[in-house]
């Protein structure tokens, strides 16, 4: 099979490890730190996880570890959406496993969690793995979104593991996947199955983080990929000088991606969902904010600009959030009558007549195309699929309408022409940056060290990430310390708490300090393509977010 020159060279790249993990594997031991508590709802979490709650933090240090060489079989699962670097987590896990004992075996369960339920796997050996090292994607074994959440499923997992003498499972996933890992670990311990479970923190959204998980893997690569594209568009906008570009970026529940891309590219406007919610900003106020920025730039003869929009913005706008909830409830109760309608116009009229006065007003303010999307795109539970709402087109259309009104009133004299974009899948499987290649490899190698330490219910943790890899710290934290109780499908359930953008954090404060200047002036920065070769300050550069968070 033909491969690109870059791909060939990346196969040979040797990821960097923290100093402690560069030691001979028999000279590294786990060291227990202080006991931990849950993010909140501690009593409830403790009651649900009696075997894995309150476990200590783990760091690795030098020491004799002869037991690490004992024979082990380990299973690995990729869960949820893709994120750059997943193949390197598996590579690090494999190399740690084989360094301890060449007879150790790695089972890759195919297609996500369903692979272990169906006993569908392949043995990952060095020859097979060679074609995936330092590459993007999850195609080495595939991923899936099946949830491991019932006792019956847990017991199937246990029996499949026992069938193959598998001692431990590594689940590579986001907040929901690692919540499932915590529940599975608790079940195995309660039943004395003798099977360990370790999680690895994945999601390009960046919302799986705390002081011990400084960044979720894939975030670095995805934001650099998007920022290259945004920088290209900024350069084009500044060249053509006739378009306003509205760019929607992946990240439904949190605005970390949008904020990081703004810090990297300095667009004219970047909306932050968490700020919109905190200030209870209406849709009309958001539109007015953008329209006023357009008008001010027009005064300087700059009839162009760039606006960044988080994917989940509409869920944070109070009246739209209420509208969506009302539509979901309405269509759940009148599903048959609604389904019998043929045309989009009939469906819009049907819903409009049945909404409360406030929601009706919000609905009527929306373009017809967006109204149709609110009514047409339902998930399996009958709810609006918010990620499919074209917020970029919604805002562009509403800003245009506002500007026409301003022009009629004499408060705007510029020209406005818009283009819309959505950057999502372009970043999920990109070639990992050197940072993600190193970080993910370290997470995988570290996961094996947690297994070798006899631990279960832990999340692989590598910290001090704004420093060179040599100075990174390796260890683990109990998954239960990241959990709280939330209502899911009408029931109170334990879940890992999503980390949203902190409005009092250094990254947002830096953005807020500079955004007025960026809005009026053309301050674009152009990150360019991801660099793999050259000075470390260019090739191993971490995110602006992480650099600001860890700045003194």
Location of each CATH 3.40.50.460 domain in the chain: 234-427+505-549
Compute CA distances 225 → 174, 258, 306, 424, 524, whole Å: 20, 12, 17, 10, 16
Q: Looking up tokens 């106020």, which residue turns up? A: 285
CB 435 within 8 A of CB 536: no
Confidence at residue 380, expressed as pLDDT on a 0 to 100 scale: 58
Confidence at residue 378, expressed as pLDDT on a 0 to 100 scale: 67
Our answer to whether residue 436 is catalytic in this structure is no
Location of each CATH 3.40.50.450 domain in the chain: 17-218+432-488
Is 234-427+505-549 a CATH 3.40.50.460 domain? yes
* Residues 6+ away with beta carbon under 8 Å from 42: none
Confidence at residue 363, expressed as pLDDT on a 0 to 100 scale: 92
Compute CA distances 115 → 33, 122, 137, 318, 319, whole Å: 35, 10, 18, 41, 42
Q: How many residues does the chain have?
A: 552
CB 222 within 8 A of CB 356: no
Rounded distance between C-alpha atoms, residue 516 and residue 150, angstroms: 51
The alpha carbons of the chain give a radius of gyration, in whole angstroms, of: 25
Percentage of residues of the chain with pLDDT beyond 70: 98
Q: Which of 122, 54, 64 is nearest to 94 (CA)?
A: 122
Where does 340-453 have alpha helices with state H?
344-352, 357-364, 368-376, 391-408, 425-428, 434-452
Where does 113-150 have alpha helices with state H?
114-117, 126-129
Find residue 473's DSSP bridge partners.
Answer: 463
Paired sense of beta strands 56-62 and 418-423, if any: unpaired
Residue 44 DSSP symbol: H
CATH topology classification for 17-218+432-488: Rossmann fold (3.40.50)
Rounded distance between C-alpha atoms, residue 51 and residue 42, angstroms: 14
Catalytic residue (choose from 95, 175, 205, 540): 205
Paired sense of beta strands 105-109 and 269-270, if any: unpaired
Residues of the chain below pLDDT 50: none
Q: Where are the beta strands (DSSP E) in 256-315?
A: 269-270, 305-310
Rounded distance between C-alpha atoms, residue 6 and residue 8, angstroms: 5
Buried/exposed 118-145: b ≥16 CB within 10 Å, e otherwise: eeebeebeeeebeebbbbbbbebbbbbe
């Amino acid at each position: 099979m033909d491969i690109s020159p870059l791909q060939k060279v990346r196969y040979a790249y040797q990821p960097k490890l923290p100093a402690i993990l560069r030691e001979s594997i028999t000279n590294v031991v786990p060291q227990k730190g202080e006991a931990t508590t849950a993010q909140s709802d501690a009593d409830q979490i403790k009651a649900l996880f009696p075997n894995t709650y309150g476990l200590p933090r783990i760091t690795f240090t030098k020491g004799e570890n002869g037991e690490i060489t004992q024979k082990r079989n380990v299973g690995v699962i990729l869960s949820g959406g893709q994120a750059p670097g997943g193949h390197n987590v598996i590579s690090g896990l494999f190399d740690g496993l084989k360094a301890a004992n060449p007879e150790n075996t790695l089972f890759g369960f195919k297609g996500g969690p369903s692979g272990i339920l169906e006993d569908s796997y392949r043995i990952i050996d060095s020859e097979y793995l060679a074609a995936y090292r330092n590459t993007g994607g999850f195609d080495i074994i595939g991923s899936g979104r099946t949830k491991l959440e019932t006792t019956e499923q847990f017991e199937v997992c246990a029996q499949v593991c026992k069938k193959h003498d598998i001692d431990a499972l590594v689940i590579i996933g986001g907040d929901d996947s690692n919540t499932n890992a915590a529940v599975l670990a608790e079940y195995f311990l309660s039943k004395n199955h003798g099977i360990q479970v370790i999680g690895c923190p994945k999601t390009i959204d960046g919302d799986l983080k705390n002081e011990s998980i400084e960044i979720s893997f894939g975030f670095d690569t995805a934001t650099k990929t998007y920022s290259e594209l945004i920088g290209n568009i900024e350069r084009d906008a500044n060249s053509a000088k006739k378009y306003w570009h509205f760019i929607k970026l992946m990240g439904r529940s949190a605005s970390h991606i949008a904020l990081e891309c703004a810090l990297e590219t300095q667009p004219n406007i970047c909306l932050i969902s968490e700020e919109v919610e905190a200030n209870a900003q209406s849709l009309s106020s958001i539109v007015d904010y953008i329209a006023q920025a357009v008008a001010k730039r027009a005064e300087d003869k700059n009839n162009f600009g760039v606006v960044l929009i988080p994917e989940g913005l509409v869920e944070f706008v109070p009246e739209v959030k209420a509208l969506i909830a009302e539509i979901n409830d309405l269509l759940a109760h009148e599903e048959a009558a609604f389904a019998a309608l043929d045309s989009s116009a009939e469906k819009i009229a049907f819903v409009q007549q049945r909404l409360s006065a406030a929601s009706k007003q919000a609905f009527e303010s929306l373009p017809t195309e967006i109204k149709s999307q609110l009514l047409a795109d339902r998930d399996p539970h009958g709810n609006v699929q918010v990620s499919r709402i074209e917020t970029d087109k919604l805002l562009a259309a509403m800003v245009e309408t506002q500007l026409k009104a301003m022009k009629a009133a004499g408060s705007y004299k510029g020209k406005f022409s818009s283009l819309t974009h959505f950057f999502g899948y372009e970043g999920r499987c990109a070639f990992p940056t050197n940072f993600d290649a190193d970080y993910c490899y370290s997470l995988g190698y570290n996961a094996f060290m947690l297994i070798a330490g006899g631990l279960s219910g832990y999340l692989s943790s590598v910290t001090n990430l704004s420093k060179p890899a040599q100075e990174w710290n390796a260890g683990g934290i109990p998954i239960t310390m990241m959990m709280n109780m939330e209502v899911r499908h009408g029931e109170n359930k334990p879940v890992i708490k999503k980390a949203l953008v902190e409005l009092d954090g250094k990254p947002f404060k830096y953005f807020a300090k500079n955004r007025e200047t960026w809005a009026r002036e053309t301050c674009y920065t152009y990150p360019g393509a991801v660099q793999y070769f050259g000075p470390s300050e260019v090739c191993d550069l971490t995110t602006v977010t992480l650099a600001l968070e860890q700045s003194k």
